[in-house]
Amino acid sequence: MEEKEEYKTLNINSTLYKTRLSKKFENRKPFKPADPCLVRSFIPGTVVDVLVKEGSELKHGDVVIILDAMKMQNRLKTHVDGRVKRINVKSGDRVTKGAVLLEMERVAGPEAEDSEES
Amino acid sequence: MSLEKKILDLNEKRRKAMLGGGEQAIEKQKAMGKRTARERITDLLDKDSFTEYDMFVEHEARDFDMDKKVLPGDGVVIGTGTIYGAPVAVFAQDFTVAGGSLGLAHARKITKIMDHALRMRMPLIGINDSGGARIQEGVNSLYGYGEIFFRNTLASGVIPQISVILGPCAGGAVYSPALTDFVFVVENISKMFITGPEVIKTVLGEEISMEDLGGARVHSEVSGNAHFFAKTEEECFEQIRKLITYIPWDNTRKARMFEPAEPKPGFDVGKIVSDDPTMPYDVKDLIRAIADNSDFLEIQEMYARNIVIGFGRLGGRTTGFVANQPNEMAGVLDVDSSDKAARFIRYCDAFNIPIVTLVDVPGYLPGIDQEHAGVIRHGAKILYSYSEATVPKITVIIRKAYGGGYIAMASRHLRADFVFAWPTAEIAVMGPEGAANIIFRKEITSAENPEEMRKKKVQEYKEKFANPYVAASKGYVDAVIEPSETRKMLLHALDVTENKSIPRPHKKHGIPPF
């Protein structure tokens, strides 16, 4: 009987089922589309060098940060044309995967296409 | 030297070798709650059945003063013995000798016993307890791992391979267990990872304990790398002994027959399942209500609980059970449950074990995370493995069997030999609610009272299609049966399929959606 209390409702194709939910399901994260203005670390590592300053005007594809990870010097690039709005790291910082290292703001003009990481 | 003296000399040599890394190292091992390699083998195998080989093997390493070091047996014990009379080949790494590190001679002992098992067609059990590669031996130890992985792959599907993780098993070393059929872990003793907490801390700056990173529970619940979880080494050995009774010695044989036994009276097959398809129940109760002696050896109990897999017996024959679990996530198929079931189906197929599938599935789990995690590819694994399997495939549809889930769960279309359905079965393209919403969308939205109209249409659909008879009228279901007839029909089906043989087009191997 005490088991009954664990049961929750799960909707599959409009039918509501009484059942337990897995941790994985309950902890799933809502999807957020990638923001091309943010330069993130695609791998955990150490920032070796920040090549730009806040306010720098950049073109899509310019290298902004060198990230040392897995014995490689990875060149992180901006995905948009625009201006550097904020730099969140300095050289020597250790960063986790997905951390926002640098934020861009678009300047007036047509939108640049997103491109692949480094 | 007289013969007598030579024998004394031999016994002294044996005594020294059996001591492994010496008394101090043994004490340390015990302090960690672990047994020595030879104790483990003795506990696992039938009494006095173990014969050890290569006791006097020594390494030939020279660099880093290794030539001055004596490592008895080079840190691993190999040999053969029996489990309930079944022959098994065993290796057990000896952590008391240089931390069970793997050098060339150590690896050669392991590959020797692997070759032996494969040639003599007997199950192989590897007890892993090792700090990893013996760094002083450099690339030679990498050669050793590679040779082991190659043999694991060669033996896969030919002889059963069992890995027991009773200590650290880190870095490349974990790939040997990963290539084997069943991985056994013990709480607080097993540690498996590719990169340990130290490296993760230096490289990533993230702190995590060994237990949280790669302990027994993590691999049983989260990663799915382990198949059996035990609280003590003793319990673990009992699990292995039990498993051995269910599986054949090699892929040319069938598992041993046992005396048939009726299920225990405590499990009433007719009283477990509600006829409302949205209500949960524990499908393991259903398996126990059907299986001989109500015995069921569950595999990966804590991982992807929405599907249940494991071994039982029907009329004395080992049977692989695959069942949706309405108690967990409504029994949906998803990335992890597809992966779990598909691998088990392939195991049964490789080792001549008939598969009984109990179906109660609402379909595949909708969601962005599922789509992005590759539910297309992973979900396809179930279809692939059922279609590919040539062992007897017997399916019982308990309640819902909707859409892709219906096809995937060993349907007639994937060549089930027998499909039975309970009167509560609903074999349809989707649940009545979803179907009515689509088919009668116009009627519902244009109705004066849409909610009432929706209910009416759902009811209409339910009456017409939410049953086993539409599928039965087309021969997709062979018989609609009372719940109480389930065991009888399964026994009948297993009798009929006993000598099943079907030709398949020649191929080197297929390309399953790994």
Q: Which residues of A touch B277 (CB under 8 A)?
A: 15
Q: Is residue A33 a part of any domain in this protein?
A: no
Q: What is the CATH number of the domain that holds B408?
A: 3.90.226.10
**Mean per-residue pLDDT for B130-139?**
93
In a domain, B109, yes or no: yes
Q: Which residues sit opposite B87 in a β-bridge?
A: B82
Same domain flag for B440 and B348: no
Of B278, B369, B432, the CB nearest to A28: B369
User: What digits encode the pLDDT tens for the residues B450-479?
Assistant: 999 999 999 999 999 999 999 999 999 999
Q: Is residue B506 part of a domain?
A: no
Note whether A44 contacts B205, CB cutoff 8 Å: yes
In a domain, B131, yes or no: yes
Residues B321 and B387 reside in one and the same domain:
yes
Which range of residues forms the domain containing residue B185?
3-246
pLDDT in tens, B26-55: 999 999 999 999 999 999 999 999 999 999
Closest to B332 (Cα-Cα) out of B408, B396, B274, B270:
B408
**CB–CB of B203 and A44 under 8 A?**
yes
Domain-located, residue B257: no
Q: Is residue B501 part of a domain?
A: no
- Read off the pLDDT band of A107 (50, 70, 90): confident
The total number of structural domains in chain A stands at 1
Residue A89 falls within a domain, yes or no? Answer: yes
Residue A9 domain-assigned (yes or no): no
Q: Which residues from A are below 8 Å from B329, CB to CB? A: 10, 19-22, 25
B19, part of any domain: yes
Please tell me the total count of domains within chain B: 3
Judge if B299 and B413 occupy the same domain.
yes
pTM for the whole structure = 0.93
Closest partner residue to B329 (CB to CB) among A15, A21, A45 is A21
Cα B355 to the chain's mean position, in Å?
14
Q: Is residue A118 part of a domain?
A: no
Write down the pLDDT at residue A96.
Answer: 87
**Does residue B275 sit at the A interface (CB-CB below 8 Å)?**
no
Q: How far apart (Å, rounded) are the C-alpha atoms in residues A50 and A75? A: 10
CB contact under 8 A, B434 and A19: no
Judgement on whether residues B422 and B436 belong to the same structural domain of the protein? no
In a domain, B513, yes or no: no
Partner-chain contact B332 A12, CB within 8 Å = yes
Q: Is residue A7 part of a domain?
A: no
CB contact under 8 A, B366 and A13: yes
Same structural domain, B277 and B320: yes
Look at A19 and B203 and tell me if their CB atoms are within 8 Å.
no
How far does B413 lie from chain A, in Å, by closest CA? Answer: 23
Instruction: Give the best residue of B433, B459, B461 to mutate against chain A (max A CB count within 10 A).
Output: B433
CA–CA distance, B488 with B508 (Å, rounded to integer): 39
Query: Are both B307 and B454 inside the same structural domain?
Result: no
Task: Find the angle CA(B337)-CA(B512)-CA(A13) to the nearest 5 degrees.
Answer: 40
Q: pLDDT digit string (tens) for B243-290?
A: 999 999 999 999 999 999 999 999 999 999 999 999 999 999 999 999
Domain residues for the domain of A89 are 38-105
Q: Does B365 touch chain A (CB under 8 A)?
A: yes
Least confident piece of the model among A50-59, B137-146, B198-207, B311-320: B198-207
State whether A7 and B326 contact (CB < 8 Å). Answer: no
Say whether both B308 and B193 belong to one domain: no
In this structure, the number of other CB atoms found within 10 A of the CB of residue B403 comes to: 20
Q: Are B454 and B472 contained in the same domain? A: no
Q: Is residue A74 part of a domain?
A: yes
The rounded percent of chain B whose pLDDT value lies above 90 is 94
Q: Tell whether B475 and B355 lie within a shared domain.
A: yes
Do B225 and B292 lie in one domain? The reply is no
Q: Do A14 and B205 touch (CB under 8 A)?
A: no
Q: How far is A40 from chain B (nearest CA, A)?
A: 15
B193 lies in the same domain as B221 = yes
Chain B neighbours among A 9-28 (CB < 8 Å)?
10, 12-22, 24-25, 28
CATH number at residue A97: 2.40.50.100
User: Rounded to a whole number, what is the distance in Å from the CA of A11 to chain B's nearest CA?
Assistant: 9
Q: Is residue A6 part of a domain?
A: no
Distance CA B249, CA B229 (A): 23
CB of B188 within 8 A of CB of B235?
A: no
Between A and B, how many CB-CB pairs are < 8 A? Answer: 77
Pair B447, B334 in one domain: no
